[in-house]
Amino acid sequence: MYKLLKQEGLARRGEFHTPHGVIQAPFFMNVGTSAAIKGGISSLDLKDLKCQVELCNTYHLHVRPGDDVIYKMGGLHKFMNWDKPILTDSGGFQVFSLAKLRKIKEEGVYFSSHVDGKKIFMGPEESMQIQSHLASTIAMAFDECVENPAKYDYAKESVERTTRWLIRCKAEMERLNSLPETINKKQMLFGINQGATFDDLRIKHMQDIAKLDLDGYAVGGLAVGEPAEVMYHILDAVLPYAPVDKPRYLMGVGTPTNIIEGVYRGIDMFDCVMPSRNARHATVFTWQGITHLTNNCYTLDDKPIDEECDCPTCRNFSRSYIRHLFKSGETLAGRLAVQHNLYFYNTLMEKIRDALDNDCFEDFRNHYSPLLAQKRK
RNA sequence: GUGGGUAUGGCUUAGUUGGUUAAAGCGUCGGAUUGUGGUCCCGAAGAUCGUGGGUUCGACUCCCACUACCCACC
Pairing of strands A188-193, A138-140: parallel
Name every residue whose Cβ is closer than 8 Å to that of residue A274 and which is 6 or more positions away in sequence. A254, A255
Q: Which residue has the higher pLDDT, A115 or A124?
A: A124
- To the question of pTM greater than 0.90 for the whole model, the response is yes
Mean residue pLDDT of chain A comes to 95
Nucleotide nearest to A251 (CA to C1'): B35
Residue type present at position A95: V
Q: Which residues in range 88-107 of chain A are in contact with strand B, contact meaning CB within 7 A of any of its atoms?
A: 89-90, 92-94, 97-98, 100
All domains of chain A, ordered by start, with CATH? 2-272 (3.20.20.105), 280-371 (no CATH)
CB of A223 lies under 7 Å from some atom of strand B: yes
The nucleotides of chain B lying under 7 Å from a protein CB are: 27-41
What's residue A100's pLDDT? 64
Query: Tens digits of per-residue pLDDT, A232-286?
Result: 999 999 999 999 999 999 999 999 999 999 999 999 999 999 999 999 999 999 9
Which of A215, A268, A271, A306 is labelled catalytic? A271
Is the CB of residue A109 less than 8 Å from the CB of residue A71?
no
Q: What distance in Å separates the CA atoms of residue A342 and residue A20, rounded to the nearest whole number?
A: 21
CB of A31 lies under 7 Å from some atom of strand B: yes
Check pLDDT > 90 for residue A8. yes
